[in-house]
């Protein structure tokens, strides 16, 4: 019995196409936010963002369910997510929808965590995402959805809700960075790498 195209290993299965679609959505989002969007365009950009975030969950779930996980998918999946979040945050700075310093803190955290993970890998340690990191991701994605909607079209000040959620996301970002650093420190201590 032949395997359907969407379940075959390689670059044309459904999980990989969803991942590639998420990458392709990044320049579309940049175009939406190039100038101050109208309420309609803002709503469409929010929908595109939410769909890509849902795709982030779906592609990984399908790849695991169908046992077609690949190195390329594992590489592209987090890149698609980070590219979308970074693009949205940067494009919202000139619009005045988010403070530049908050973007700096959030992205500095991502760089620090990436560096710690690489160092940990060189030491034979794999650092998985902790609970604080998962909370950070959830609050950040929700915050950006509200910030993209921006306008008060549903009886709620979407911008204010988004800013409040982004503050929570930043708190979890800092907390998860500390969590990663402490986990790495304990690993080095247990290996005796910190002893003189």
User: Which residues make Cβ contacts (< 8 Å) with residue 160, sequence separation at least 6?
Assistant: none
Per the structure block, which two tokens stand in for 175? 């907390």
- Tens digit of pLDDT for each residue in 13-46? 888 999 999 999 999 999 999 988 898 999 999 9
What is the pLDDT at residue 193?
61
What is the pLDDT at residue 2? 75
Long-range contacts of 113-121 (CB under 8 A, 24+ apart): 113/176, 113/177, 113/180, 116/180, 116/181, 116/184, 117/180, 119/184, 120/184, 120/187
pTM of the model: 0.85
**Structure-token pair, residue 129:** 């995402």
Q: What is the pLDDT of residue 4?
A: 77
pLDDT of 186 reads 78
Residue 196, classed as helix, strand or coil, is coil
Residue 7: is it exposed, middle or buried by C-beta count within 10 angstroms (0-12/13-18/19+)?
A: middle
Q: How far is CA 163 from CA 67, 102, 168, 183, in A?
A: 39, 10, 9, 30
Instruction: Tell which residue, 15, 2, 11, has the closest CA to residue 66.
Output: 15
Q: List, for the chain, all residue ranges whose pLDDT scores fall below the cut of 70.
A: 1, 123, 125-130, 153-154, 192-196
- Please report, for the chain, the start and end positions of each structural domain, with discontinuous segments joined by +: 1-96, 99-196
Q: Look up residue 120 and give its DSSP letter.
A: H
CB 104, CB 46: distance < 8 Å: no
């Amino acid at each position: 019995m032949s395997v359907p195209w969407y379940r075959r290993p390689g670059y044309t299965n459904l999980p990989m196409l969803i991942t590639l679609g998420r990458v392709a959505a990044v320049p579309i989002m940049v175009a939406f936010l190039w100038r101050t969007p109208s309420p309609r365009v803002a709503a469409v950009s929010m929908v595109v963002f939410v769909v890509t975030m849902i795709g982030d969950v779906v592609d990984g779930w399908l790849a695991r369910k169908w046992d077609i996980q690949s190195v390329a998918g594992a590489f592209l999946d987090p890149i698609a997510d980070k590219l979308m979040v970074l693009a949205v945050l940067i494009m919202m700075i000139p619009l005045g929808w988010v403070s530049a310093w908050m973007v700096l803190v959030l992205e500095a955290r991502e760089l620090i965590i990436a560096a710690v993970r690489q160092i940990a890998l060189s030491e034979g340690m794999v650092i998985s995402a902790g609970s604080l990191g998962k909370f950070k991701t959830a609050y950040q994605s929700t915050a950006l959805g509200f910030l993209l909607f921006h306008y008060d079209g549903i009886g709620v000040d979407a911008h204010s809700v988004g800013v409040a959620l982004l503050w929570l996301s930043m708190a979890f970002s800092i907390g998860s960075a500390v969590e990663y650093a402490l986990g790495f420190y304990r690993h080095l201590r247990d290996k005796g790498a910190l002893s003189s």
